[in-house]
Structure 1
């Protein structure tokens, strides 16, 4: 955990690297789910242009992970968090999620919500360890989703 976490907003030139990171992070789930998970189908160009994407950058300015979040109603919605193969196990995902929570608090939101696929079993154990509580399960767009929420402050 001693590594410096540099987080910055993504710019248009980052789109290719963001997409590659998403492909790398979510590829193992394609066979489990039976199709590409929603984060692999995202319009990263539009999300970057809207200011919704933030990156974790390594010492050589390489992309180590990214997070996509934006306000929905009175909550911050964490849509996507992915870490590169090289960045796994270094607290990058946790740092990105904490960054999202800090931004939500700064903007006056009382909670962060997110969903994950029921078949992404790693996530089902990770989010509760980070203080997220399962609030519902539902089927949407052909995906079985588990919704989590974390109250802030």
Structure 2
């Protein structure tokens, strides 16, 4: 498996969108509000890759996973971490996370940050096993209950 940065030569937007939608599909009907992945379009995905740091994981030419990173003060935000259903449990997510850690360290950012929905307790467990700790409970606009949690991983120096 190799991990490649999404740059101006990337042209597989439809496949990337389908990867994200298929890997997030299990959330449909489980979380409220619905995942922002459902509002992604080919154009908004390309804009995301321009405004953030995107990577895809490939096995030969098969898209197995992706992530988008956004530098913030004191941390690197990890978003849209997606692994194709057929590749889940095969260390794709872990390898993407290792790259995110290396990028954070190279940018002198001491922490990785991510958000995960309150209902997705299996995700909380996986991220905790990867060294993330819950740091906040938050609500989407218009909701009077917690809808997601923030998790952070402090990186070794």
Asked if Structure 1 and Structure 2 have the same fold, meaning a TM-score greater than 0.5 normalized by the shorter chain, the answer is yes
Which secondary structure does the structure 2 equivalent of 1:126 belong to? helix
Aligned to 2:114: 114
Separation in 1, partners of 2:71, 2:16: 21
Structure 1, unmatched stretches of 5+, are none
Which secondary structure does the structure 2 equivalent of 1:86 belong to? helix
1:37 corresponds, among 35, 38, 41, to 35
Is the Cα–Cα contact under 8 Å of residues 65 and 84 in structure 1 kept in the other structure?
yes
Shift of 1:35: 5.1
Shift of 1:50: 3.1
Report whether the alignment pairs 1:13 with 2:17. Answer: no
Aligned to 1:49: 50
More off after superposition, 46-55 vs 110-119: 46-55
Q: Pick closer, same or farther for the CA change 1:40–1:105 going to 2, 3 Å.
A: farther
Separation in 2, partners of 1:35, 1:147: 16
Is the Cα–Cα contact under 8 Å of residues 19 and 40 in structure 1 kept in the other structure?
no
Residues 68-117 of structure 1, C-alpha deviation per residue, up to 9 Å, x if partnerless? 11101121001120001221110001111111111101111110111100
Kindly tell me the number of residue pairs found equivalent between the two proteins: 148
TM-score, structure 2 length as denominator?
0.87
Counting only pairs closer than 5 Å after superposition, residues 22-33 of structure 1 correspond to structure 2 as: 22-33=20-31
Separation in 2, partners of 1:34, 1:138: 13
CA RMSD in angstroms comes to: 1.6
Residues 34-78 of structure 1, C-alpha deviation per residue, up to 9 Å, x if partnerless? 55312333431111223521000012x110000111101121001
